[in-house]
Amino acid sequence: MKKKILVIPGDGIGQEVTSCAKAVLEQIAAEKGYTFTFDEALMGHAAIEATGDPLPAATLDKAKASDAILFGAVGHAKYDNDPTLKVRPENGLLAIRKGLGLYANLRPIVLFEELLDASSIKADVLKGTDILFFRELTGDAYFGEKIRTADYSSDLMIYHRFEVERIAVKAFEAARSRRKKLCSVDKANVLESSRLWRNVVQEVAAHYPDVETTHLFADTAAMQLIKNPRQFDVILTTNIFGDLLTDEASQIAGSMGMLASASVGDGAGFYEPVHGSAYDIAGQNKANPLAAILSAALMLDISFGMKAEANHILQAVKQVLKDGWRTGDIASAATDKSRILGTKEMGEQVLQMIRASAVSKQEQLQN
Considering the domain architecture, whether residues 100 and 183 belong to the same structural domain is answered as no
Find out whether 22 and 28 touch, Cβ atoms under 8 Å.
no
Say whether both 235 and 287 belong to one domain: no
Residue 38 maps to a domain: yes
- Grouping H, G, I as helix, E, B as strand and the rest as coil, residue 105 is strand
User: Is the confidence at residue 362, as pLDDT, over 70?
Assistant: no
User: Do 133 and 20 lie in a common domain?
Assistant: no
Rg of the chain over CA atoms, in angstroms?
Answer: 20
What whole-number distance in Å separates Cα of residue 262 and Cα of residue 105?
6
Residue 256 confidence (pLDDT): 86
39 is catalytic: no
Residues in a beta bridge with 4? 37
Cα(143)–Cα(145) distance, integer angstroms: 7
Mean pLDDT of all residues in 265-286: 93
d(C-alpha 262, C-alpha 274), whole Å: 10
- Residue from 79, 103, 142, 279 carrying the catalytic annotation: 142
User: Residue 75 belongs to a domain with what CATH number?
Assistant: 3.40.718.10
Last residue of a domain, one of 218, 252, 286: 252
Are 89 and 151 within one domain? no
Average pLDDT (205-213) is 98
Of the three residues 221, 252, 283, the one that is the final residue of a domain is 252
Bridge partners, 108 (sequence order): 132
- Please indicate whether residue 247 is annotated as part of the active site: yes
pLDDT tens, residue by residue, 50-104: 999 999 999 999 999 999 999 999 999 889 888 888 899 999 999 999 999 999 9
Residue 62 is a catalytic residue: no
**Biggest distance spanned by C-alpha atoms of the chain:** 76
Q: Is 114 part of any domain?
A: no
Q: In the prediction, which pLDDT does 6 show?
A: 98
* Active-site option among 61, 219, 280, 336: 219
pLDDT number for residue 134:
98
**pLDDT over 90 (residue 181):** yes
Concerning whether 67 is annotated as a catalytic residue, the answer is no
Helix %, strand %, coil % of the chain (to 5): 50, 20, 30
Give the separation between CA 74 and CA 11, rounded to whole angstroms.
5
Are 210 and 284 within one domain? no
**Residue 350: domain span:** 1-105+258-367
Assess if residue 111 is contained within a domain.
Answer: no
* Whether 125 and 166 share a structural domain: yes
Which of 252, 269, 300 lies at the terminal end of a domain, its last residue?
A: 252
Q: Would residue 266 count as lying in a domain?
A: yes
Are residues 265 and 283 both part of a single domain? yes
Catalytic residue (one of 187, 233, 286, 329): 187
Q: Determine, yes or no, domain membership for 113.
A: no
76 and 153 both lie in a single domain: no
Task: Indicate whether 157 and 232 sit together in one domain.
Answer: yes
Separation CA 364–CA 17 (nearest Å) = 33
Question: Is 112 domain-assigned?
Answer: no
Which position among 53, 155, 243, 344 bears the catalytic label? 243
Q: Which letter, b or e, does each residue of 49-77 get, where b requires 16 or more Cβ atoms within 10 Å of its Cβ? A: eeeebbbbeebbebbeebbbbbbbbbbbe
> Is residue 142 flagged as an active site residue?
yes
Number of domains in the chain: 2
- Confidence band (pLDDT; 50, 70, 90) for 358? low
- Residues 187 and 263 both lie in one domain: no
Q: What is the pLDDT of residue 351?
A: 97
Q: Is 233 part of any domain?
A: yes
Residue 367 maps to a domain: yes
Whether residues 264 and 163 share a domain: the answer is no
The per-residue pLDDT for 41 is: 98
84 shares a domain with 146: no
* DSSP letters spanning 148-180: E-SS-EEE-----HHHHHHHHHHHHHHHHTTTS
CB neighbour list of residue 146: distance below 8 Å, 6 or more residues apart? 153, 154, 155, 156
Q: What is the torsional sign of CA 169, 297, 246, 49?
A: negative
pTM: predicted TM-score of the whole model, two decimal places: 0.90
